[in-house]
Structure 1
Amino acid sequence: MISELLPNDVVCAKETRDLVIECCVEFIHLISSEANEICEQESKKTIAPEHIISALKRLGFDSFTREVEDVLKEHKQQQKDREKKVSKLEQSDLTPEQLQAMQEELFAQSRAKFQSNAGAPS
Structure 2
Amino acid sequence: MSDKEFGNSDDLSLPKATVQKIISEILPQLPHDNTGAGKEGEMTFTRPARDLLISCSLEFLRMVSSESNEISEKESKKTISVEHVEQALTDLGFGSYIEGCRGVVGEWQEVQKKRIGRGEKMRNFGGFDKMGEEELRKMQEALLGEARGRMEGSGAGQNDMQHGQ
Q: Could you state the TM-score of these two structures normalised by the residue count of structure 1? A: 0.66
Instruction: Report the alpha carbon displacement of residue 40 of structure 1 after superposing the two structures with TM.
Output: 0.2
1:25 paired with 2:58, answer: yes
2:48 to 3, 7, 15: 15
How far residue 68 of structure 1 moved from its aligned partner, in angstroms, is 0.7
Deviates more, 1:38-47 or 1:74-83: 74-83
- Aligned length in residues: 97
Unpaired segments ≥5 residues, structure 2? 1-21, 29-40, 140-165
Q: Distance in 1 between matches of 2:69 and 2:90?
A: 14
Identity %: 41
Distance in 1 separating the partners of 2:70 and 2:25: 35
Task: Please list the CA deviations of residues 12-51 of structure 1 after superposition, one character each: whole Å capped at 9, or x if unmatched.
Answer: 1111111000000000000000000001011011111221
Distance 2:63 2:99 in 1: 19
- SS of the residue 1:70 aligns to: helix
1:66-122: CA deviation from partner (whole Å, max 9, x where unpaired) = 1111111222222222259x4994xx852484xx9xxxxxxxxxxxxxxxxxxxxxx
Q: Secondary structure at the match of 1:6?
A: helix
**After superposition, where does 1:69-84 map in structure 2 within 5 Å?**
69-82=102-115
SS of the residue 2:88 aligns to: helix
CA RMSD for the aligned pairs? 2.9
Matched, 1:94 2:130: yes
